[in-house]
Structure 1
Amino acid sequence: MPTTNISRRALGLVVGLCGLAIAFDGYDLVVYGTTIPSLLKEWQIGPAEAGRIGGYALIGMLVGALLVGTITDLYGRRKTLIGSVTWFSVFTALCAAAPSPEVFGALRFLGGIGLGGLMPIACALIIEYAPAEHRNLTYVVMQSGYAVGGILAASLAIPLIPALGWHVMYLIGAAPVVLIVPLALRYLPESLEYLVSRGRTDEAAALAKRLGIAVPPAPPAGARWYDGVRTLFSGEYRRGTVLLWIATFCALLMVYGMNTWLPQIMRAQDYALGSALSFLLVFNLGSIVGSVLGGRAADRIGSKPVIATAFLLAAVSIGLLSLKAPTIALYALFAVAGYGTIGTQNLINVHVGRYYPASARATGVGWSLGFGRLGAILGPIAGGLILGSGLSATWNFYLFAAVAVVGLAATALIPVRAAKRDSVALAA
């Protein structure tokens, strides 16, 4: 397979740069949740309106995820990733100067377009270049940057918001333009699959020689830009496409719902802001540890049983969070829930990327995440409606636990053929 002999240095650069970019995707996910208490107070808005504002960024992500396949086919994965990072960084920083909830929501929507395009490209690059026998582990190591960004947001919020206000949290969102873009311009390689598909064979051969790997085969003659979309709905893939979309929908609903409202839910249960943010930190930290362990297991026994187990852990741990428990038990449950939500989505992404052939990989991940963004949009909105309805805040935990059960059922129904192919670690 083309990717099995890539040098450690080259692989490390791809994983490191994609992971660093994904870290700021995770930062953007969590930063809104950390600033909600401040926004509610400053702009005198209710939880329901805050939930709608949180959904604007996710609508932008939906647009970006659906567009990324076409944009990548035109400009390449490298340029599209760099453009996505630049785009969302600029609009995230502009949120710090927003004078009203309306302007803030519009900026979050625009920034979300860049964020929506980032993850499918990073996923496609890692799956292309990772050694087949360690593909799940390599991917979740890269994707752990997502939770690292969440931890960074939660950790910075604890001292910075009381001292400097919520605005500084969004100014930090400009950091990728300085930290990532120059490095990516210099070190991030283009996708060999893209170069070959565009007929740039000499350039592909030179890059493959530098990376120490073989040139991937050319796509069939007469391939068209929309062939990737057609593949998703062809007879061989149709059922799996629908089930993977449902699983992604459920996972992202939990990820964005929990990360957006967890601090406010705990505040509603009389925990101080610092304590509430510490629960959010543990939630994201648990996802890192769990994702690495889950990735190792997925490389050995296949993704499907590991994803199903992760959904089950999410349902149990989130359900138990609705009960009164000692603080140490809450921390443990939040750690497990972090793996069952963020970790589950990490594993689903790599499973989706391996489910389809290379020609449809970025499109498959992009459309799966695009449909999943509907769940990401619904999570913050539903959480805000529950908090604003007068119901106990613990009803959010009932909702998210029920969604985990639906995700578990969808995962169990993924066609056995795809699960078998995944379990023997065949390269797409």
Structure 2
Amino acid sequence: MNPQAIINHGRRTVFSRTLRPFDHGVCMSTRDIGEQNVLNVEQFIDERRFSPYQWLILFFCFLIVALDGFDTSAIGFVAPAIAKEWGVTKIALGPVLSAALVGLAIGALLAGPVADRIGRRKVLIGSVCFFGVWTIACVFATGVWQLSVFRFLTGIGLGAALPNSTTLLSEYVPARRRSLLLNVMFCGFTLGASAGGVVSAALIPDFGWRSIFLAGGIAPVLLACALVALPESVRFMVIKGWPDDRIRRVLRRIASGELVTASKFSVSDRVGEKETAPLALILSTRYRFGTLMLWLAYFMGLLVYYMLTSWMPTMIHDAGFTLRQASLVSALFPAGGVIGALGCGWLMDRFNPWRVVALAFLLLGAAVCAMGQGTANVQSLAIATFVAGVCMTGAQMSMLALAALFYPTHGRASGVAWMLGIGRLGGILGALGGGALSAAGYSMIAILTSMAAPAFVAAMALLFAVSVSNKQGSLQAAVVEPSP
């Protein structure tokens, strides 16, 4: 390799770029280094249209997230049937409902570093199969604690699947559409959650609660078999030095048959990053501050989300509204999720993504305050709830896209996964805290007003990250700006 053909920008090594026009289908984005033709795979993806092969990857990742949403919502629908059959109180089912949340946190924390070492594809297929098998095992549970253990193991698989589907897709979509397409994938959660309610209503009356776990377990096992068609991340293959022929085959499928003649491949990660352990990388000097701000924002966001989704119907009913009104108003909260996710994704691809997500959190805080003040009539409460749902889903789903944009290839799975794992602790606190505040006698107005504070903290964390980075100079600006 001719060292004169390399340009050093700070700590990033970039090959000098020589673009040639297409000649009989030969690809662009190549660099001549000595006698070798080196292609940067990130630029290769960025310069092309979104191909059918990339749509297939998006489709598979969408299905994985949809199964996550199905599992999350279905457990709430089966709880009353389980309590009735086993003769236990709903409070006694608390371990069953919370076990998966604990498993989700542990699964995310474990899966990220493993995926950064052995590959996203292997961990993704294994995690989908794992949570499918343990969901089927729930069919044979005979008591609360046995079911809690099975749900905990299911949660580990779910916790490993989401960050790796995020990471894999983010490394196959062009930068100009990355946030939007990632949020399209996250819309699968909303679809899966809706399907959980529909399927539960159709199956439980005739076939019992075990049929939900059976359906929810067979689907991911079958999907895991289909996921063998997924490729490994092409960036990961380059970082780990996989055979050039395997990388070339994937790029040809992305380019829809276009001839790829490069003899070597590269990515734009900084010198020395791939030699650093993934966890050490995301906590290194360059990434530490952004990592902590992502953790704080996601933790606060999930605290608000789980408090509202777990206790909103109860709070609205306790505020003097009928059960029917409480149910209808609560249903408006997730109804605007797709609008929020796609809107935030579209804006993130056009403006500073950190500021876009921060704005969504600020609007969420204002909307939650408006919910607390809207107890006078059901119409104002309904409007405020819908707006809060749009902002909540948009902000929280976009956090995964933000993390995927922030970290380099070698630490991306660990960065996304650890943000998810730390954030799940906020979800557990929110689910438990809502009940504690209600039991302590706090009114709906007081609880909702207090929930605006975590939303504002999340917004301030993201804005603070942008401000501090700008003051540190151009070298650190890359920490908070989207990839070129």
The counterpart of 1:45, out of the listed 63, 76, 89, is: 89
Aligned amino acid, residue 287 of structure 2:
Y
Shift in Å at residue 31 of structure 1? 2.4
Q: Distance in 2 between matches of 1:263 and 1:34?
A: 14
User: Are the aligned partners of 2:113 and 2:279 in contact in 1 as well (CA < 8 Å)?
Assistant: no
Query: Is it true that 1:346 corresponds to 2:388 in the alignment?
Result: no
User: Are the aligned partners of 2:317 and 2:326 in contact in 1 as well (CA < 8 Å)?
Assistant: yes
Query: Is it true that 1:400 corresponds to 2:444 in the alignment?
Result: no
Aligned amino acid, residue 92 of structure 1:
T
Name the residue aligned to 1:412. 463
User: Are the aligned partners of 1:154 and 1:280 in contact in 2 as well (CA < 8 Å)?
Assistant: no
Decide which structure has greater strand share. Answer: 2
Aligned amino acid, residue 426 of structure 1:
S
Q: Distance in 2 between matches of 1:327 and 1:161?
A: 32
The counterpart of 2:311, out of the listed 247, 261, 264, is: 261
Aligned amino acid, residue 308 of structure 1:
A
Query: Is it true that 1:321 corresponds to 2:371 in the alignment?
Result: yes
Q: Distance in 1 between matches of 2:247 and 2:326?
A: 50
Shift in Å at residue 317 of structure 1? 2.3
Identity %: 32
Deviations for 1:261-281, whole angstroms, at most 9, x for unmatched residues? 344545656777776555554
Aligned amino acid, residue 31 of structure 1:
A
The counterpart of 2:356, out of the listed 294, 298, 306, is: 306
What TM-score, normalized to structure 1?
0.87
Name the residue aligned to 1:90. 133
For 1:32-71, list aligned pairs within 5 A: 32-38=75-81, 43-45=87-89, 47=91, 50-71=93-114
Cα gap change, 1:206 to 1:266, in 2 (>3 Å): same
Cα gap change, 1:394 to 1:23, in 2 (>3 Å): farther
Query: 5+ unaligned residues in a row in structure 1: which ranges?
Result: none
Q: Distance in 1 between matches of 2:285 and 2:352?
A: 23
Cα gap change, 1:136 to 1:220, in 2 (>3 Å): closer
Q: Distance in 1 between matches of 2:195 and 2:189?
A: 10
Name the residue aligned to 2:339. 289
Shift in Å at residue 289 of structure 1? 1.1
Query: Is it true that 1:185 corresponds to 2:228 in the alignment?
Result: yes
Cα gap change, 1:387 to 1:71, in 2 (>3 Å): same
Cα gap change, 1:17 to 1:244, in 2 (>3 Å): same
Name the residue aligned to 2:296. 246
The counterpart of 2:163, out of the listed 115, 120, 133, is: 120
Cα gap change, 1:102 to 1:280, in 2 (>3 Å): farther
Cα gap change, 1:424 to 1:177, in 2 (>3 Å): closer
Structure 1 counterpart SS, 2:309: helix
Q: Distance in 2 between matches of 1:134 and 1:346?
A: 16
Aligned amino acid, residue 279 of structure 2:
V
Query: Is it true that 1:196 corresponds to 2:238 in the alignment?
Result: yes
> Which moves more between the two structures, 223-232 or 76-85?
223-232
User: Are the aligned partners of 1:248 and 1:369 in contact in 2 as well (CA < 8 Å)?
Assistant: yes
User: Are the aligned partners of 2:107 and 2:156 in contact in 1 as well (CA < 8 Å)?
Assistant: yes
Shift in Å at residue 183 of structure 1? 2.8
Shift in Å at residue 319 of structure 1? 2.8
User: Are the aligned partners of 1:354 and 1:422 in contact in 2 as well (CA < 8 Å)?
Assistant: no
Query: Is it true that 1:227 corresponds to 2:260 in the alignment?
Result: no
Structure 2 counterpart SS, 1:236: coil
> Which moves more between the two structures, 116-125 or 320-329?
320-329
Aligned amino acid, residue 258 of structure 1:
L
Cα gap change, 1:228 to 1:318, in 2 (>3 Å): same
Q: CA RMSD in A?
A: 3.1
Shift in Å at residue 45 of structure 1? 3.0
Deviations for 1:80-126, whole angstroms, at most 9, x for unmatched residues? 11111111122223334433222222111111101111111111112
Larger radius of gyration: 2
Name the residue aligned to 2:35. none
Aligned amino acid, residue 190 of structure 1:
E
The counterpart of 1:360, out of the listed 408, 411, 414, is: 411
Shift in Å at residue 145 of structure 1? 0.7
User: Are the aligned partners of 1:158 and 1:277 in contact in 2 as well (CA < 8 Å)?
Assistant: no
Decide which structure has greater helix share. Answer: 1
Cα gap change, 1:311 to 1:205, in 2 (>3 Å): same
Query: 5+ unaligned residues in a row in structure 2: which ranges?
Result: 1-42, 471-475
Cα gap change, 1:385 to 1:158, in 2 (>3 Å): farther
Name the residue aligned to 2:421. 370
User: Are the aligned partners of 1:85 and 1:176 in contact in 2 as well (CA < 8 Å)?
Assistant: no
Name the residue aligned to 1:172. 215
Q: Distance in 2 between matches of 1:222 and 1:316?
A: 44
Aligned amino acid, residue 348 of structure 1:
M
Aligned amino acid, residue 206 of structure 1:
R
Aligned amino acid, residue 336 of structure 2:
G
Q: Distance in 1 between matches of 2:108 and 2:188?
A: 19
Q: Distance in 2 between matches of 1:18 and 1:350?
A: 14
Q: Distance in 1 between matches of 2:137 and 2:106?
A: 20
Q: Distance in 2 between matches of 1:266 and 1:169?
A: 29
